[in-house]
Structure 1
Amino acid sequence: MDLATAKQSTRVQQDELLSVVPSAAVSTTRQTETSRALFECETGGYYWPGTLNIALSEDADGAALLEQIKADWSAKSGWTVRDKTSVNGDPELVIVSEEGYRHAIEFNPERNSLNVLSSSACFQMEGKPKPGVDY
């Protein structure tokens, strides 16, 4: 796998996460297209990080949407889902694939938003990432 494939796969998975949320429940979305950094994997290679922020409409039930995402992704082959509490004390799901993709989805009740922090599976590339380059 290369950077382009890792990045595209991560963004497609984020779109799949978003598709669980009914369009009427979405106020705005913001998805990163590039990252200013790549991070080293423990097993060698690098991973691409990306975010997806979903601002929910006033009447949307973010906690229920998190449960729906949990149910849908728990049923997917090759994925594991676990509940946790974020560093902010908010409910969070961590979804990990057998290939090494990871999505942490936090529900922020104060902002009524779902914040997704994703990382691609590890990939190989020539050389090392360069500072200040958009990946």
Structure 2
Amino acid sequence: MFRKVRKFAFVAVLIGSFVLPSFAWDEVGHKLTAYIAWSQMKPDVRAKVIKTLLAAPEDAQLSTFYSAYGGGRTETARQRDFFMLMATWPDIIRERNFAVRFKNYAHSDWHYADTFWRLKDGKVEP
């Protein structure tokens, strides 16, 4: 009996160790996704995306982050890294030390989408 319990506990812990990392993405997950998206974009689309990001309201402080990515690097590398960082912006804006940015932009429903569905006759319905 004890062996069965121990075996069950081992299997449960093993399965749990694979499930836990899937609950949320961290900075690396967001940036990796952005990197893949960036690599799939054509140069004209990249330019439009960067232009759109830099046109954000001043209190969003996106241009501040862009300014931080200088330092003798190519403009293409700077834009790519800025784009990757902006994939983490919904996490960055949770920082309460920047009160205006937090108040204006830290909305949990901007960071994720709750979607519910059900199965009916083997098909997914909203």
Do the two structures share a fold, i.e. TM-score over 0.5? no
TM-score category of the 2 structures, normalised to the smaller one: under 0.3
Higher strand share: 1
Q: TM-score, normalised by structure 1?
A: 0.26
Query: Based on CA coordinates, which of the two structures has the bigger radius of gyration?
Result: 2
More helix by share: 2
- TM-score, structure 2 length as denominator? 0.28
Structure showing greater relative contact order (alpha-carbon pairs closer than 8 Å, 6 or more residues apart)? 1
